[in-house]
Every structure is written in structure tokens, then in C-alpha cells.
Structure 1
Amino acid sequence: MSSVGLWLWPSMVTLAVATYRIGEPVLGRDELTSWDMSGRSIGQVLATIQHVDGVIGAYYLILHGWSILFGDSATALRMPSALAVAGAAACVALIGQRLFGRRAGVAGGLLFALVPGVSRFAHEARPYGLVMLAVALAALLLLRALERPGNPWRWAGYALGLTAVGLFHLLALTCLIGHLVLVALRARRERRAWWGFGFAVLAGLASLIPVVLLGRAQTVRQIYWIAKPTAWSLIDIWPQLFYTGPCAGTMILLAMIAYRERRGAVVFCAVSAVAPVFLIWALSHGEISYFYFRYMLFTLPAFAVLAGAGLAAAARSRLTLASVFAALALLTAQEQESMREPLAHYWSGGPDFAAAAQTIQKYYVPGDAVVYPRMEEEAIALGVRYYLPRDLKLRDVFLAESPTDRDDLAATECPQPARCLRGEERIWLVVRGDQTDPLNGLPAYQSAALRAHYRLSGVERPSGLAVALLERTS
């Protein structure tokens, strides 16, 4: 296999798996936020991240430019993530080759392609795929810098890699634990390596100070909902990361088989894969918990490198390697298929915004208005708006100030709902589907204003939602 094939095949296989039915799942709640932010101007994005989501502002800016070029379909919005995991697979192969040899590199890259957790977040219009790429690339750049520690350009490249890691997710900077171990194992008394590493880390972290300050100010609002982890969480996290228990068990077993390989390389990969999880678990026992599996997906490339080394050591023939890949593909086939279902981006069959939009579009009459509940920020409003035709206009009855106008992700509502009604003959109401009477899905003061002048004409209930048509009575 040529040097190009070393990384090309894992990258292409990952891209093929990642793009399979990529546009079919309905956009998830966070993805709808990404879509909303991608449609704002650069100035509006920069203004918004002063108040919320400052830690992933770079991702929003990238998606803004991407959407201008390629549109805002579900496939287009998710494609940066798919391309990123394909790039991460290439990095996995190149890291594996440097640490354990060519066969291990290719095996690691192909194993990475088959992990359901990789595919799932290649289908997510959020920065998790880009974080995996940035962390894998930073490790590769560090290995290159250590090969020629006197070359300042290689250390500059590594510094830029660390900056990218932090721009996409600050918690991923815990990968520095593994990097420090690698430098200690490789450099030892090589002063140039230590100086280069030290300056690169300082430069990379210094460039992230504005993001860190924004993150600290916004932390409570952003992740207040994450529960503090228990001791069991350290066991339960692995099936979540790989997105299936059998895959997690297989990858961990293959990684353990690698223990007889090059000791320094094994230690580096093991620390890179496991230490960030334990550190984030420990940090999550303070005022704020950060222990959420999506925030630790960046450890998957290190796991894949180590598992590839174990597989290459255990399987001496191509037939055996192919058999293991086939077995893992079959073992995870059900999860790979289920994550491509229409409502796969929601736990327990979430709201079908596409079906709700189809209902409104089917019965729409010019002059219709709409009401959404906003207790869960803009999830329902954004979801229905995304799937409605762009030329179908519905006045949002109780909207006082939109999220874009506020430079925020949440809207403000009309304080006196009765005064916000403008005599519309028909108003659509879209609420969560767990209410027998859809009007009960609104705050009482909004519901009362509508009941005074409108009657319920009909209701349809797509998964997780109720779409009701109100007609004026007086």
C-alpha cells in the first residue's frame, strides 16, 4: 500500500459511512440552533456569542460561510462534520503508522470508521466532529515536531493545532495530558523539545484567553442541566462514547491487546484515551458539572489508534483483519441503521418538526398566523420554521423580539397577549404533544387570550407534537 493509501482508504471509508443517509434524520434541537446562527450575519454572530455559546463561536462562523456556499439543507449543514471525521480517520492512520507501523495505522483508521459514535456525530451539525479532527491533528503535529525538535515551524503548527482544539471545545484541551506524557517519553533530556513544547502550549493557550473568559461567564447558563457524575458514571461513559456497548467492549479489548507493543506509544495512547475522562469527571464535582459524553468524543481517535495496534498485533493475515472488520460492522449494524431513522437525533422519539410543517403547509391559507410555546427556548419555533417553505409567511403572534434582534438564542414574548392579537381569522398552534387540549401547552395567560376569541377547529399529532388550528369566533 502506498503512503497515500495509508490514510486515503480509512478516510474514504469513514466518509462513505458518515455520509450514508446523512440528511434523513430531522434536525435535532442543538442543530436547529446551528442553523439559526449560520443564517445570521458575521456581526450578529459575534454579538450573540458575547451572551451565549461563546465557546463555539468559531464553529458558527465556519458554518455561516459554509451555508453561503452550499445552502442550509440538513445534508449541507452536517457535511462539515462528516468531512471532519474523515479527516480525523486520516490522522488516526498517520498517527498509528508513526507509533506502531503501517498495518496498525490502517487498522486503526478503519476501526475508527466503523465506530457508531463517529457516524452519529458525523451526522450532527455541531462541532463534535471538528473537535475529533482538531485533537487528532494536534497529536499528529506534535509527533512531527518531536521528530525535528529544532524546527520552529513544526512547533508553530502544533500551537495552531492546539488553538483549533480550544476554539471548537475548551474541554478537549485535556488532551494536553497525553501530549505532556509523550514529550516526557520522547524528549527526556532534549531541551529543544521541552522549550518548543512549552512555548507552543503557551502560545496556543494564550490565543484562547477571550474564549475562556466568555466560557466562564456563560457556563451556568450553558450547562446547568448536566448532573454531577457518580462512580458508576466512569463505567457507563464508555458505551455512550462508542454509542453501543458491544463496540465499546470490542475496541477496549483490542486496545488492551496492544499492551505488548511499543511501551511508550501504548502509554501515550492510553493516557490520551482515558485520562481526559477521569480529569473531567474529577472537575465535575465542583460547582459545575462538565461530565457529558458528547464533550469527550475527542478521545475516540486515541482509542482507535490503540485498538488498531492491538488488532495488527493479533491478526497476522489480511483475511483475519478483514474478518474482524466484518464482524465489527455486523455487530454495530443495528445501531448504524437506527441512528439514521427520521427521529434518531432525539431520545425516545422526539418531535417530528418536518411532519408538523407539512401539516401547516397542506392547510395553509394566506393571512394565517402561528403561536409557539417558548419555555424551551426556540426549539419548536425553529424546527417548524426550518421545515416550512421559506416563502410561506406566518406571523408569530406572541413574539415581541426575535432571538436575532436580541443577539441571543431566546426570544422575548408579548407581555400582554390580548394586545398582540390582530384579528387573524386563523392561528396555528404548535405545542408538545403530551396535552389533550393543545391550548394547555401554553402559559395560562396566553391560553386565556386565545380562548376568549378562538375555538379549536382541528388537531393533528405528528410524533411528539400537537398541531392545532384555531379559528376566530369573535
Structure 2
Amino acid sequence: MAILSPTEQRAGDGPASEAPHGDQRATTVGLWGWPALATMALAMYRISEPLLGRDELTSWDMAGRSFAQVLATVRRVDAVLGTYYLVLHAWTSLLGDSPAVLRMPSAMALSGAAACVALVGRRLFGHRAGLAGGLLFALLPGVSRFAHEARPYGLVMLAVALSTLLLLRALDRPGSPWRWGGYALGLTAVGLFHLIALTCLTGHLVLVAMRARRERRVWWGMCSAVPAVALALIPVVVLGRQQTERQIWWITKPEAWGLLDIWPQVFYSGLCAGTVLLLALVALAALGERRDAVVFCAVSAVVPVLIIWALSHGHVSYFYFRYMLFTLPPLAVLAGAGLAAAARSRRAVAAVLALLALLTLSDQKALREPLAHYWAGGPDFAAAAEVIRKNYAPGDAIVYNRVEEEAISLGVRYYLPRDLRPRDVFLAASPVQRDDLAATECAEPARCLRGEKRIWLVAAGNTPDPLLGLPAGQAAALRAHYRTSWAERPSGLAVSLLVRTE
């Protein structure tokens, strides 16, 4: 049989085992438990060290809004991430908004994804292949990177891996409506966390088509599950389509080279990408007796990327590496099978995994640097906030240069003490008041000044005159009444103190 039966799954890689039921259960727990623990250990290591990235600051902002405010905002912007924002709102309401707390759902989700990878690998290729795939997934730098990201990508990978596992369970008993219902819920979760990840359905359809050669009932289950998923996702699809141009206008149309260049970005390591893809090729060459399983994994990993690449040559481009992270679970399953086929003993598998961990150590270390969530360095919001905190005087106000860097106000506010909130001089309506992600600033800046003796100015870059980047009206209003007393320049930012001249 191309895909292992339940008896073969319990037995491992050989014939049916005579081991007691308790031993089988312990073996199963170890199969998914070790990858989950390894992923969580790597995820928790220095999880708070990197400063929050721009998108993470948006997640923090949305999580701090009420349930009704989140719903009102996603009607205008970010509808495709609405489910994630609601989850994060509930989570932070209970546990606070520290970097570790904000990122913990991603860390836990990826630990669950590693467990699912191992269980899927066992069903498709046997026990040793499943364990190798799960541990390989845990070691990927891309997994560690997005375990430290307060965005939905970790939950997307979990939903994709879990829906695959639920599909395999449904195929074991194609007449069970409960199992197909579970699969439909898993696939719905994929779409709720990221619509583009629903391209994983291509692999699922290929698997169902191959299984239907022996059991035609599987089509009935699939044809009942997929329409139910589509119906549940209609509101997200409609709103997301309306908001697409505003949300991802900045993604460029990919060239042919992008189909190769995308993989080092997805893995966050060129070496790791090459190793995993090589092991996947080994599986393709060595596992002919499990052709259905190999084809399923290969299609699940590669075809969605091709589809997204093709669609990105239309009106809007979707070809961004983060949107394809959901291909990591099927790639890990296939690479785990290749590793188990090439390394015939557990010690050999362990040696290869240890070598991969050693070779990617520098990649893992780089992911935990303070500015790791920014390409080529970035604005050090924590340092800027510390400058203001140390030198703050009661009555101080603040100006953020939102033209140069939209996230400046969010970043500085996040790292300032919660009881230190200088008046935002040129803010007319906050994003929360507007049910949006962007603020509205004063139409007549001179009228927004209230005679403050001191105003902090936070701007991107290191220009000698930080007022140069401000809108003309704001710069003129400040020059008329203030002079720059002194300035400090933490990485990527200029923090200046303006004092009144009258």
C-alpha cells in the first residue's frame, strides 16, 4: 500500500509489532513529543531578545483594542488577519503584552506543527521517517524565526499540518462524517489565518484523487468538506479582496528567478534550504514503493508556490516569502523520509540532524539579535524610548515623523513605560478612533501647539536637521517657536529635544 495502514503506523517501519498497548502508546507519545519539545525549547530561547518588528507592533496595537474595535477595524483593513487579532486580543487580555507573551501563541503553534509533521510522516513513511521529519522541522531556522514573530504565520503552519493529519484520518474511514467534519474545520482554520495558504488544497486534492482509485467514497467526503469551508470563508474572502490593493501594493511581481530565490528566504538559511531540498530529492528517488505519499508531499510543497507565482503576474502580486512558509511542514515530512531512507539507523539519522544543527548555529544566533526582525538593521525603538524616559519632564509633548516611518509612534509607545504618555502634538485622530491602522494628523499644525515648553521629536534616519523630513506645515510651526536643544541618534532613529524660544 502506498500510504501506510493504521497497523503499520503503530508498528513503525517493519511488520506488525507484538509490543504491549502501553508500549505502543509510549512510542507514539515519543514520536510527536520530542519534536514538539525541541521546537518549544528553541522557540523559548531568547524569545524576548529581538525588538518587535513593524508588523508585530501592528499586532500589539490591534490586540489592545476591544473585541468590537477589532471587528470594526477589520471591516476596513486587514480582514484576512482578523481571526489572528481576535485570538491575540483574548490572549493578551489574560497574560499581558510583553514580547514573550505576544510571541507565545506562535511558539506553541509551531510546537504543535512539529508534532503534526511527525505524525503525518509516520502515516506516510513509517515511524523513523516521521520522527526524523519532526526533528528536522524543529531545527529549521525559519521555524525558530517565526516562533519569535507575533504574526499568524506559526498558526498557519499548524493549521496546514493539522488539516493534513485530519485528512489522512478521514481517508482511513471515508464513511465517517465526523472525520470529514474535523478536516473541514482544520481547512477552515487555514483560511481564517491566511487565505493564500489554502493553496495547500492542491496537494489534498491530488491525494484524494489517488486514493479514489481504490475507494470512490472519498470523493463524497471531500466534496462535502470543501464547499462547507468555502461557505464559512466568504466574508473573509469578500473583505480581503476589497482591501488587497491597500494591504499588499508593495509586493513586486516576481521574475522566473524568484522560484529558486524564494527558498533560502523561507528557510532563513541557504544551507538549510539546500539540505532539506536535497533530502526531499532523495525521497523522490528512493521511495518508489510509496509513490502516492511522495507525490502528495511534493505537490503540497511545490505546486502552491507555482500557483502563487502565476497569480502574482495579474493585477496584484502575492509572491512574498512569508506567505509561503506553510510549505515547510510538507517539505519537512518529505525530507524526513529521505533522511530515513538514506541513513539506515537511528544513530545515522541523529548524526545528520546534529550536523545540521551545528551548521545552522550561526543562522539561529543571528535570528536572536536585538534588530533581527529588520532587514539590514533597523530603528531601535527601545533605545529611543529609553532616551525619552531618562530625560522626560512633566508637561513634555512629542512629535512623531509618521511620513518617514509609520511604525515610529507604535514602537516608541510600546517601549515607553505605560504611565508615560506625552501628548502627541499633531495627532488629530488616533488609529483606534478611526477604526483603522493609520492616524489622522492636524490639518493646521500651528493651531495644535499648546505652548509646551519642550517637545520630543522622533524621526527616522540620521539627518542633521530632523525637521527636514516632517510635512512642511509641521516643520514651519515648530521652527517658528522652537529650537533644537540636543539630539541623540540610536540605530535608525533621531531623538531630538525641542525647547520653546519665546
The two structures have a TM-score, normalised by structure 1, of 0.99
| 1:156 counterpart (168, 178, 181) | 181
Residue of structure 2 in register with 1:132 after alignment: 157
Rounded Cα–Cα distance in structure 2 between residues aligned with 1:438 and 1:356: 14
Rounded Cα–Cα distance in structure 1 between residues aligned with 2:421 and 2:339: 57
Residue of structure 1 in register with 2:425 after alignment: 397
1:188, distance to aligned residue in structure 2 (A): 1.8
Query: What is the correspondence of 1:11-410 to structure 2 with a 5 Å cutoff?
Result: 11-188=36-213, 190-259=215-284, 260-261=286-287, 262-375=290-403, 378-410=406-438
Rounded Cα–Cα distance in structure 1 between residues aligned with 2:28 and 2:317: 43
1:376, distance to aligned residue in structure 2 (A): 5.4
Range moving further from structure 2, 320-329 or 163-172: 320-329
Q: Deviations over 1:210-242 (max 9, x none)?
A: 000011000000000000000010110111111
Rounded Cα–Cα distance in structure 1 between residues aligned with 2:142 and 2:468: 38
Rounded Cα–Cα distance in structure 1 between residues aligned with 2:281 and 2:404: 44
1:377, distance to aligned residue in structure 2 (A): 6.6
Equivalent position SS for 1:455: strand
Paired residue type of 1:419: R
- The answer to whether the 8 A contact 2:403-2:469 is kept is no
Rounded Cα–Cα distance in structure 2 between residues aligned with 1:436 and 1:16: 45
Rounded Cα–Cα distance in structure 1 between residues aligned with 2:421 and 2:61: 17
1:205, distance to aligned residue in structure 2 (A): 1.4
Rounded Cα–Cα distance in structure 1 between residues aligned with 2:399 and 2:44: 35
Rounded Cα–Cα distance in structure 2 between residues aligned with 1:263 and 1:193: 19
| 1:444 counterpart (464, 472, 475) | 472
1:441, distance to aligned residue in structure 2 (A): 2.3
Range moving further from structure 2, 435-444 or 206-215: 435-444
1:189, distance to aligned residue in structure 2 (A): 5.0
1:19, distance to aligned residue in structure 2 (A): 1.3
- The answer to whether the 8 A contact 1:424-1:472 is kept is yes
Rounded Cα–Cα distance in structure 1 between residues aligned with 2:325 and 2:244: 20
- The answer to whether the 8 A contact 1:187-1:193 is kept is yes
Q: Deviations over 1:52-90 (max 9, x none)?
A: 000010000000000011110000000000000000000
- Identity %, equivalent residues: 74
Equivalent position SS for 1:430: strand
The two structures have a TM-score, normalised by structure 2, of 0.94
Range moving further from structure 2, 367-376 or 8-17: 367-376
Paired residue type of 1:466: A
- The answer to whether the 8 A contact 1:377-1:410 is kept is no
| Shift in CA distance, 81/376, structure 1 to aligned 2, threshold 3 Å | farther
1:439, distance to aligned residue in structure 2 (A): 1.0
Rounded Cα–Cα distance in structure 1 between residues aligned with 2:446 and 2:387: 26
Rounded Cα–Cα distance in structure 1 between residues aligned with 2:482 and 2:292: 72
Q: How many residues align?
A: 474
Equivalent position SS for 2:401: coil
1:185, distance to aligned residue in structure 2 (A): 1.2
Equivalent position SS for 2:151: coil
- The answer to whether the 8 A contact 2:404-2:460 is kept is no
Equivalent position SS for 2:244: helix
Residue of structure 2 in register with 1:5 after alignment: 30
- The answer to whether the 8 A contact 1:459-1:468 is kept is yes
Q: Deviations over 1:22-67 (max 9, x none)?
A: 1110100000000000000000000000010000100000000000
- The answer to whether the 8 A contact 2:462-2:489 is kept is no
Equivalent position SS for 2:47: coil
Paired residue type of 1:175: C
Residue of structure 2 in register with 1:434 after alignment: 462
Alpha-carbon RMSD across the aligned residues, in angstroms, is 0.8
1:331, distance to aligned residue in structure 2 (A): 1.3
Rounded Cα–Cα distance in structure 1 between residues aligned with 2:384 and 2:196: 37
Equivalent position SS for 1:2: helix
Equivalent position SS for 2:329: helix
Q: Deviations over 1:355-408 (max 9, x none)?
A: 000000000001000000122574000000000000012000000000000000
- The answer to whether the 8 A contact 1:378-1:411 is kept is no
Paired residue type of 2:133: G
> Unpaired segments of 5 or more residues in structure 1?
none
1:452, distance to aligned residue in structure 2 (A): 0.3
